[in-house]
Amino acid sequence: MTDLRVCHLYPEHLNIYADRGNIAVLRARCRWRGIGFAAIACGPGDPLPDADLYYVGGGQDRDQLLIEDDLVGRAANLRAAIDDGAWMLAVCGGYQMLGHYYRGHQGDEMRGTGLVDLVTEAGPTRMIGNISIDCELRPGQPLTVVGFENHAGRTRLGEGVRPLGRVLHGHGNNGRDGGEGAHAGRIVGTYIHGPLLPKNPALADLLIAEALGRRHGTVALEPLDDRLEGMAHDAALAIAAG
Amino acid sequence: MTAFTAKVVAARAAAGLSRRTRAGGGTTLPGKLLLRMAPDAIERMTARLAGGSVVISATNGKTTTAKMLAALLEPERRLCRNTAGANLESGVASALLHCHGADLGVFEVDEAALPGVATRLEPRATVLGNLFRDQLDRYGELEAIAARWQRMTAALPAGSLLVRNGDDPLVASLSNPGETLTFGIDHEGAALAEMPHASDSKWCPACGTRLRYERVYLGHLGDWSCPGCGRRRPPLDVWADALDPLGLDGTRFVLRTPLGDADVELPLPGLYNVYNALAATAAACAVGGVDVARMAQGLERFDAAFGRFERLRIGDRDAVLLLAKNPAGANELIRTLATDSRPKQLLVALNDLIADGRDVSWIWDVDFELLAGHVQGVVTAGTRAAEMAMRLKYGGVGGDRLEVAGSIEAGLDRALAGGEGPVYLLGTYTAMLELRAVLARRGVVRPYWEAA
């Protein structure tokens, strides 16, 4: 049976913006199609499970500090898993920790995994509000992604790292260059929560299909009744536009 | 007339005008005006309250706690209160404007506004109930609020009492120079089998070690201790034991206080209301002059505050108003609802205006799954009606009886028209205001500023 294995990194620590909603959506959209689904929690000290998709969410500063060493220590294993075909989705704080470091407002520094060439430095104000972006994770398949952002960090991408998308309404990575998130190979990072996947079913399906590809080759996903998802997406898009 | 008195008169006139022009209840505007004219107005007016004042803050339950405390103290004490959730500085100032003859202030204060208000009021007692994750887009993180509260409590005058919830690790860790009264629950039968998902404070506020819970009662509230630094729940001065839930009708428990014990049948359901009752009782102990029999009586005669399990009759149907503003509060409502096995209709009205919190991701931290199979029909409404319906769909609630209404009024009518049994009307803050406005137009409830 076709099945998807998702590893949820630090679900006890990094869950500030209802990150479990993202996992719930992946689970439901697999099960509705008869695709097996397993979410495996991975906390500090646990061995890194074999998975098709690694998910990491965001936490309060204190919670992120508690897992900093553990996550940084996993960088090589995560890199190996991604090179082996796994995908990674990182949201908010998890996105910042994809980079080299996060520098706080008082100059305090939190290390990241360096899986993606990016750095984040806190600004004087938080960038908060509804956000919408245009993205093209798969060439030729443009998507609009909607949600909410709430971050003090200003993220700058290294040369050669593409943003996940272009901001239509909202702040994005740093409020200046119009980019939001990062997309590097099989790694996707974004500030967009809400949670990210429920209102963006096309993005959820794209990640499911790509991650399934690691062990099951090309999988065609049956369409689902996404009327409510579509209405929620469109309403959020209109609200973001003001 | 002194210059200050003239400003007070002008601000009072603004209250009348605001009410007559239907701009609202006049619950904040006069205070805003007064504070603009006289920035020290709160300090000056509070000096007239011979008994000083009590401030109450918490993420959840401050309105109910303040109302309960009033029920314990009135009519023996003449209170000055901000009654309508107008709980910023302007609301307190507005309340003080209309407090002729009052001798004690009882103010519920917004968590973020508390340090500023407390500095101005120099309260004789500060009652702190709980800190849950709520509207992060507005308040920032929990730790930041706890840190601001600690700076505030540390600076309280020596004669000022701190009344704190011992079961909440963040609140229990607050300290003050004066006396402290700690309240909580102490009853094995009331404990949950495991820690709920939406628990917000699992880590020791002092050393970051994962807390160990002997018992968890609600969210992260319980009998906690830290294996890392040895901190633990402080000894309780006021507590409830022998809890006996009476479904949606309330909870029976034994109230233990330094003044003696009493059996209480609280007419509000849910453990969170037991916490509110304990906070109010502990505050009444701090104020003094009330014996324990009188406290029990006050609690037993209590009416629900705005939208907190308020029962109504709409036409020929029973309805219950439920204010849901954050995951911890909403989870308790859902858990209580799931104990009612009768067929029922549900309206969930989700708005995302500033007072609701613009970020609606919290609905995914609410265990709506518990309602699967418990409701006949579900209607959603509000600015995020479709999103709410989608959340319920992923939770397996409603199935093909899930409807999205175009407005809150239409949603109310759809919910009232469907199925049988009571209609539960669950809404976020502004959705609840809108719902109440609709009901008021139909003669069902009084406008909120008239309800005391």
Per residue in A199-240, pLDDT tens? 999 999 999 999 999 999 999 999 999 999 999 999 999 999
Among A176, A234, A165, which Cα is nearest to A200's? A234
Q: How confident is the model at residue B18 (pLDDT cuts 50, 70, 90)?
A: low
- Burial category of A147 from C-beta neighbours within 10 Å (exposed 0-12, middle 13-18, buried 19 and up): buried
d(CA A169, CA B449): 38
DSSP B32: H
Instruction: With beta carbons under 8 A apart, name residues in chain A contacting B352.
Output: 239
Q: Does B417 touch chain A (CB under 8 A)?
A: no
DSSP B164: E
Among B366, B123, B143, B308, which Cα is nearest to A24's? B366
Among B321, B309, B326, B312, which Cα is nearest to B348's? B321
Beta bridge partners of A42: A9
Q: How confident is the model at residue B11 (pLDDT cuts 50, 70, 90)?
A: confident
* pLDDT > 90: percent of chain B: 54
Catalytic residue among A7, A42, A92, A135: A92
Q: How far is CA B387 from the centre of its chain?
A: 26
Q: Tens digit of pLDDT for each residue in B352-377? A: 998 888 999 999 999 999 999 888 89
Instruction: With beta carbons under 8 A apart, name residues in chain B contacting A201.
Output: none
- Phi (first) and psi of residue B193, to 5 degrees: -65, -35
- Give the chain A residue whose CA is nearest to the CA of B360: A194
Evaluate if residue B450 carries a pLDDT over 50.
Answer: no
Residue B69 tokens read as: 């405390």
Catalytic residue among B359, B367, B400, B413: B359
Q: Tens digit of pLDDT for each residue in A52-80? A: 999 999 988 788 888 999 999 999 999 99
Strands (E), B17-131: 53-57, 79-81, 104-108, 125-128
Total beta-carbon pairs less than 8 A apart between chain A and chain B: 89
Q: Does B391 touch chain A (CB under 8 A)?
A: yes
Q: Which domains does chain B have, with CATH numbers?
A: 25-300 (3.40.1190.10), 308-441 (3.90.190.20)
Among B256, B339, B219, B275, which Cα is nearest to B64's? B275
Q: Please tell me the distance in Å from B387's CA to the nearest CA on chain A.
A: 5
Q: Does B211 touch chain A (CB under 8 A)?
A: no
Q: Is A92 an active-site residue? A: yes
Name the residue facing A150 among B197, B359, B393 (closest C-beta). B359
Residue A49's domain comprises 3-241
Name the residue facing A229 among B197, B202, B390 (closest C-beta). B390
Instruction: With beta carbons under 8 A apart, name residues in chain A contacting B404.
Output: 228, 231
How confident is the prediction for chain B on average, in pLDDT?
87
Evaluate if residue B50 carries a pLDDT over 60.
Answer: yes
d(CA B330, CA B315): 27
Instruction: With beta carbons under 8 A apart, name residues in chain A contacting B386.
Output: 228, 231-232, 234-235
Instruction: Check which CATH number belongs to the domain holding A32 and give it.
Output: 3.40.50.880
What is the model's pLDDT at position B408?
A: 97
What is the model's pLDDT at position B338?
A: 86
Handedness of CA B69, B180, B195, B261 (dihedral sign): negative
What is the model's pLDDT at position B451?
A: 40
What is the model's pLDDT at position B445?
A: 65
Q: Does B300 touch chain A (CB under 8 A)?
A: no
Q: Tens digit of pLDDT for each residue in B63-76? A: 899 999 999 998 88
CB contact under 8 A, A236 and B142: no
Q: Please tell me the distance in Å from B201's CA to the nearest CA on chain A.
A: 10
Q: Please tell me the distance in Å from B360's CA to the nearest CA on chain A.
A: 7
What is the interface pTM, i.e. ipTM, of the complex? Answer: 0.96
What is the model's pLDDT at position B449?
A: 42
Kindly list the distances between the CA atom of residue A36 and the CA atoms of A2, A28, A30, A70, B419, in Å, as whole numbers in the listed order: 6, 10, 7, 29, 36
d(CA A113, CA A96): 9
Q: How confident is the model at residue A143 (pLDDT cuts 50, 70, 90)?
A: very high
Name the residue facing B390 among A17, A60, A228 (closest C-beta). A228
Instruction: With beta carbons under 8 A apart, name residues in chain A contacting B360.
Output: 148, 194
Q: Does A41 touch chain B (CB under 8 A)?
A: no
Q: Which residues of B367-383 are buried (b: 16+ CB within 10 A; e: fewer)?
A: bbebbeebbebbbbbbb
Evaluate if residue B389 carries a pLDDT over 60.
Answer: yes
Residue B1 tokens read as: 């007339």
Side chain identity, residue A205: D
Count of domains observed in chain A: 1
DSSP B155: T
